[in-house]
Structure 1
């Protein structure tokens, strides 16, 4: 970033080949905990090309919607497929306010079109209050279950696509073989959870506590685990292709047979992790801590 860190300073961005002009204030004010705010907070060095553009390797198709959200809180009118594309970008940039608004719009459309899931948030709360907490095999897609106490709940085999679990307490919950593609677990408590065989493709688990969680054989392609706590987690044969684990704590985690192609492990803590025979050739490990890790036979 330019040395002048004044909030009104102009910024030139190249998002996947599309060029944008904005200000530091726009990128930091509305979503101060986002990845964009962190990039331009003045705490990090951001490099510019010879024309003064800062390059971000993402599809720039929806970035104008990102900027409009940051400028005035505007959410565009899009088809559901385009909304899901915008949601993926919002997840990448960790724009929690935009993520919530997109989920709200999608859920409202489902209600208007009478495409309700088998249970509503109120139904879930009533079940918790009555201690009837088994939702095995149900379709709960698109529900907002954020901030609820769902510890020990059995969701096995359920359809949980695009469910919003942000900041929920899910300690020791069971998610065996669930379809939770695109779900949001930001800052959720998932200690000792059972995710064996789960489809978590594209899920957002940034900041989540997954200590000792069982994620064996889970599909976690394109997942975000930025800053997540995965100490002693079981990740044997999990598919973490393109996953973002930057700054994650994987101390003592078992990654035997895990697929890590193009995974981002920059700054991750892999001390005492089990990485025997894991292919790390296309994995980004800059700044990662590998003290005491078992790397016997690993490909680097």
Structure 2
């Protein structure tokens, strides 16, 4: 039997499930904890074909060239997702931990790209809004920059608007019913009379936005920021404002019936004539808030 480890540059002939490969001991032992490194460490006796000197491994050889190229150059090939699954299975068999980690990294990156893959571009949006009745119902616009555009009266209902950039956009009377707008930015946007019924605005930034008479009933506003926003006569019934920041916001005449305000920040907010009946305000920060004329019947403070 040949002592492979005695010469790292020696050529090794491999028969992987019927496919023939030639490489060196140095390549096969690049990852010292792998099964290949153990096989060719010199500590094990390997059976070779008596005629041609090939070491046989009973595995599918379809992706073994990628295994060798990884060991040579530490490069992950570009493959279809189903092929990555096959390569991952081989990498696990040969216990190539570095390749396993890189394949998972590639697959995770692809998932992130797919999640935020948009169906339209900013240019497409601009072309669309030139028509009178614009609808983006159910469309994925995640990650788009739609700042400063006139999107008034546009129907975004049921759309995916994650991390969309809306600063200073005119969204007056736009419909956002049941949208997923998590972490989107509406900084200083005009949202007068908009409809956000049932919308997910978790972590959204609406500081300085004009939301007069906007409908946010049943919306998820957890961890969102409305600092300095104008929410006069806004409808916030049953909205979840847990950990929301409304410091300095104007909520004069707003209806917060059934809203969740646990740990919400309402410091300096204007709550004149706001409807706060039977709300639990015990864990709400109200320092400096204006409450004259507010309906606090049955509220817990």
**Contact kept? 2:155, 2:174, Cα under 8 Å:** yes
**Contact kept? 2:116, 2:143, Cα under 8 Å:** no
Q: Which residue of 2 aligns with 1:278?
A: 279
**Contact kept? 2:169, 2:190, Cα under 8 Å:** yes
**Contact kept? 2:116, 2:142, Cα under 8 Å:** no
| Equivalent-residue separation in structure 1 for 2:229 and 2:124 (angstroms) | 30
List alignment gaps of at least 5 residues for structure 1.
Answer: 1-108
Map 1:126-145 to 2 at 5 A: 126-145=127-146
Say if 2:247 is the partner of 1:246: yes
Larger mean CA deviation between 257-266 and 112-121 belongs to: 112-121
- Sort the Cα spacing of 1:112 and 1:214 in 2 relative to 1 into closer, same or farther, 3 A: closer
| Equivalent-residue separation in structure 2 for 1:183 and 1:160 (angstroms) | 7
Map 1:34-73 to 2 at 5 A: none
| Equivalent-residue separation in structure 1 for 2:187 and 2:256 (angstroms) | 22
**1:129 partner SS:** coil
**Contact kept? 1:255, 1:275, Cα under 8 Å:** yes
| Equivalent-residue separation in structure 2 for 1:115 and 1:227 (angstroms) | 30
Q: Which residue of 2 aligns with 1:191?
A: 192
Matched residue pairs, number? 192
Shift of 1:220: 0.2
**Contact kept? 2:192, 2:210, Cα under 8 Å:** yes
Say if 2:220 is the partner of 1:219: yes
| Equivalent-residue separation in structure 1 for 2:219 and 2:188 (angstroms) | 20
| Equivalent-residue separation in structure 2 for 1:111 and 1:283 (angstroms) | 36
4+ long deviations beyond 4 Å: 109-115
**1:185 partner SS:** coil
| Equivalent-residue separation in structure 2 for 1:241 and 1:293 (angstroms) | 21
Q: Which residue of 1 aligns with 2:124?
A: 123
**1:258 partner SS:** coil
Q: Which residue of 2 aligns with 1:291?
A: 292
- Sort the Cα spacing of 1:276 and 1:129 in 2 relative to 1 into closer, same or farther, 3 A: same
CA offset digits 1:151-170 (Å, max 9, x no partner): 00000000000000000000
Q: Which residue of 2 aligns with 1:152?
A: 153
**1:223 partner SS:** coil
Say if 2:163 is the partner of 1:162: yes
Q: Aligned-residue CA RMSD in angstroms?
A: 1.9
**Contact kept? 1:110, 1:116, Cα under 8 Å:** no
Q: TM-score, normalised by structure 1?
A: 0.62
Shift of 1:272: 0.1
| Equivalent-residue separation in structure 2 for 1:181 and 1:125 (angstroms) | 23
Q: TM-score, normalised by structure 2?
A: 0.62
**1:122 partner SS:** helix
Shift of 1:129: 1.5
| Equivalent-residue separation in structure 2 for 1:175 and 1:185 (angstroms) | 13
**1:151 partner SS:** coil
